[in-house]
Chains A and B, each alone.
Chain A
Amino acid sequence: MARVGVFVCFCGANIADYVDVPQVVEEAKRIREVKFAIDYKYMCSDPGQQQIRDAIAQHRLTSIVVAACSPRMHEKTFRKALSDAGMNPYLLEVANIREHSSWVHQKDKKAATEKASDLVRMAVAKSIANEQLHEISVPVTKRALVIGGGIAGIQAALDIADARIPVVLVEKSPSIGGKMAQLDETFPTLDCAQCILTPKMVDVASHPYIELIPYSEVLELQGFVGNYKVKIKKKASYVNFKTCTGCGACWQKCPVKVDNEYNMGIDKRKAIYTPFPQAVPNKPVIDAEHCTMLTKGKCGICAKVCEKGSIDYQMQDEIIEREIGAVVVATGYDMWDPKPYEEYGVGRFKDIITSLEFERMVSANGPTNGLPLRPSDGKVPKNVVFIKCVGSRDEAKGISYCSKICCMYTTKHTILLHHKVHDSHAYVFYMDIRAAGKGYEEFVEKAQVDTGTTYLRGRVSKIYKKGDKLMVRGEDAQIGQVVEVEADLVVLATAVSAPKDNPDLARLLGISYDKYGYLSEAHPKLRPVETAKAGIFLAGCTQAPKDIPETVSQASACAAKVCGLFAGDTMKKDPMISTVNTEYCSGCQNCVKVCPYGAIVTDEVPFGHGSKELRTVAKINEGVCQGCGSCVAICRSTAINLAGFTDPQIINEIVSI
């Protein structure tokens, strides 16, 4: 027979003013299983908790009901009081008579008291079916996987590795560096991106705790927090990295020319190439799509000129498996394609370029030796129009969010233009200038003064050609007139968009993503780097557009989370998870389909007692289960139950009202 203790709290006047607390205690005493009931001014205070501890010992109580505030508030406090008294903390039930009764029925004390008594009765009924639960401890593999080798991935990998935790860094392209390696100078201080990034890239390559796997992608992730198994596909590079010295003889002699992605297709690279001179690892790969040796079997020059014999046309993709405990996803972003802006003549007029193309041109190691040139005739432009919010904040054609970095990089571009072409003039069409950040507003103001840029507030409605110039027509909202600007070059500040592969990656990892394709964090404010799946963290633009300082902070935050996860040899986990009664399970595996975390796998048990025949049943992986109960509700044979919210507990609540 259950022996329940009921403790009703006054919460000062919060409950007592609107609920007749002694009456609730009297009602509770009339329940058969209740062996002890008492009220107190503040149950959560130390003397209040002491009453609970004393009563447990004195009255040999088997479960405890505290009628007080919301369990979301003080459940943990009271659980601790129970365990201090040597009782299993999960034998506690909280009846929420403050938020659900006294505060919301302030005008009707009788009804509020009745309701409070009912809530207590329900909690008592539920607590009778409560079971002793114990925290679960799960062993952890102390190795982290970082997906993406941009600045976010680099920072996260370095921070984790510096804590002497091994890191596997997977990068899809032949070199790490990401978008930041394509930048010239960075706002608001105008330091050279290469100068601050390349030392970090070299650190990654030489770090004893980092295993860098370039030119590869993640194929499969299995397991659960602390115990993941990842399959990585290392794409065939056709170059043996172990013997290659990176001398460059191969790509200098290669006859095949291909658009250079690193320079946004402004110049050409070879079919065997390193993406850029400072690449890490600085080893070339063969672009199988364009290499004539691989496509047609003719050529083979690179193999002839390679002194080390590192070229291997027979190389195959390789599958690498690693056991890891946590994942940091840092897949960055894509530049949004401005094709929908037909009125701008995107695609028709050569002299309309995107901001990243401009960035490559003004870059010291860029295709034009640092000079912005008109793609049509190669002349240096004098009048340059920058158009902001191309794609951003435009639900009709683009995306409704603000890309966050365009205001700042356009300001930077006006400065860079001024530096490179002294007699040039820049015009900026803008909607707002969003310069929230340390030193950002000052940067924008100074740039406006120094460069003498004309800022026009309004959207561009049309761009048309007049001779070899482009006429940009837009509205200047501040004077309320249509203005036309003659431009040699138009630069579109295109939006930041989520990587195209993000939905596939999210499905593969078992995490969620939003309608734009950005990966979703567990909580927008309080858990911004975690995902809903334990042990998977987000860094950088893969979660939402952000600038470099923010990306680096988030990457370091990820590293802190990973280090925290790996601080002990095991992890503690809430025991309120599903369990399978294999006797009832018929093995239909519908639960496997419903589980959002992939926590349910199949297992085989003997058909009957002592039988050799096996049958399939569901098995919950307790490290992965988050305790949502989806599987419980769809299990027709009620073989699955959720600890803390079992069928008997909930039905007891329903029938006891």
Chain B
Amino acid sequence: METVTNQLVSIEKPEIVAPPDWQPVIIGILCNWCSYAGSDLTGTSRLQYPPNIRIIRVPCSSRVDTWFLIKSLQTTADGVLVSGCHPGDCHYISGNYFARRRFLVTKKLLNFVGFHENRIQFSWVSAAEGPKFAKVVSKVTEDIKKLGPLHLYKKENFEK
């Protein structure tokens, strides 16, 4: 059977022209045991990454309710990064497997209704992968900068 859902058309272009001093706001939701520890390691290793990410700590990626992502885009964020333990490494045995399913469907659905797929990104970062965390954040920040500010719906004068 032909797969439809993996062929969404997404062209990278800014939705509106960003003001010159504009900096994106990215919400990073990290699991306590792997990715948060990994981001701490990025700090202790003094690896530099763009300062746009605001980190929220949760116990496990499976704690990330899908509407946290929707709410983030609806209210404050230009992009969201969710990061958890690698498959098989979950501190809570199977949390990230459940999370992975929800993330895929959420990402595809938001892409379907017109949000660029890079607005919501996911990564597996272990507690040892400080450099990877810096790389992931740099990539996400760059992606969002390319897309420009997310004005949810332009007819609506929504104050950020």
- A residues adjacent to B (C-beta < 8 A): 70-73, 96, 98-101, 103-108, 111-112, 114-115, 118-119, 122, 512, 532, 576, 594, 596-597, 626-630, 632-634, 642, 645, 647, 650-651, 653-657
CA distance A450 to B94 in the complex (A): 53
A104 lies within 8 A of B59 (CB): no
Tell whether B120 is near chain A: CB-to-CB under 8 Å.
no
* A596 adjacent to B93 (CB under 8 Å): yes
| Given known A112-B51, A629-B63, A655-B76, contact A103–B44 (CB-CB < 8 A) | yes
Does B48 lie within 8 Å of A104, measured CB to CB?
yes
B102 CB-CB contact with A under 8 Å: yes
Contact for A654 among B40, B56, B91, B95, CB less than 8 A = B56
Task: Determine if B118 is an interface residue (Cβ-Cβ < 8 Å).
Answer: no
Q: Other than the known A96-B40, A657-B27, what 17 A-B pairs have Cβ atoms closer than 8 Å?
A: A103-B43, A104-B42, A104-B47, A108-B51, A118-B54, A119-B54, A532-B91, A532-B92, A596-B92, A596-B93, A627-B59, A628-B95, A629-B95, A633-B98, A634-B102, A645-B58, A654-B75
A291: shortest Cβ distance to chain B, in Å?
43
Task: Closest B residue to A93 by CB, please name it.
Answer: B57
Q: Which residues of the other chain, A, contact B62 by a CB distance below 8 angstroms?
A: 594, 628-630, 633
Q: What is the distance, in angstroms, from A12's C-beta to the closest C-beta of chain B?
A: 15
Per-residue 0/1 for B104-147: is the Cβ within 8 Å of any A Cβ (1 yes, 0 no)?
A: 00000000000000000000000000000010000000000000
- Nearest A residue to B62 via CB reads A630
Within 8 Å CB of A122, what residues of B? 54, 56
Q: Mark B1-38, 1 if CB is under 8 A from A, else 0.
A: 00000000000000000000001010100001000110
CB distance from A256 to the nearest CB of B (A): 46
**B residues within 8 A CB of A96?**
40, 55
Total A-B contacts with CB atoms under 8 angstroms apart: 126
Task: List residues of chain A with CB within 8 A of the CB of B65.
Answer: 632-633, 647
Beta-carbon contact of B48 and A629 below 8 Å? no
CA distance A629 to B33 in the complex (A): 13
Cβ-defined contact, A629 with B60, below 8 A: yes
Some 10 contacts from A to B, beta carbons below 8 A apart, are: A72-B37, A104-B49, A628-B95, A629-B60, A630-B60, A630-B94, A633-B63, A633-B65, A633-B99, A654-B76
Q: Is the CB of A630 within 8 A of B95?
A: yes
Partner of B72, one of A104, A597, A629, A654: A654
CB-CB under 8 A from B27, the residues of chain A are 654, 657
Give the Cβ gap from A134 to chain B, nearest Cβ, in Å: 19
Contacting pair A657 B43 (CB below 8 A): no
Instruction: State A98–B55 Cα separation when bound (angstroms).
Output: 12
Given A70-B43, A650-B68, check contact A642 B77 (CB 8 Å).
no
Which of A73, A99, A119 has the most chain B CB atoms inside 10 A of its CB?
Answer: A99
With a CB–CB cut-off of 8 A, which chain B residues contact A656? 76
Task: Give the CA-CA distance A115 to B49 in the complex, in Å.
Answer: 12
A46 and B40 alpha carbons, distance in the complex (Å)? 24
A532 to B85, CA, bound (A): 15
Pairwise interchain contact A654-B77, C-beta atoms closer than 8 A: yes
Task: Report chain B residues within 8 Å CB of A594.
Answer: 62, 98
In the bound complex, residues from chain A placing their C-beta under 8 Å from that of B57 are 71
Does A106 contact B46, Cβ atoms closer than 8 Å?
yes
CB distance from B65 to the nearest CB of A (A): 4
Q: Given A633-B62, A633-B63, A655-B75, does the pair A107, B48 have CB atoms closer than 8 Å? A: yes
What is the minimal beta-carbon distance from B94 to any residue of chain A, in angstroms? 5
Check if B25 sits within 8 Å of A657, measured CB to CB. Answer: yes
- Please, which residues of chain A bring their CB within 8 A of the CB of B83? none
Residue of B nearest to A70 (CB): B40
The residue on A at minimum CB distance from B63 is A629
- CB contacts (< 8 Å) of B32 on chain A: these are 72
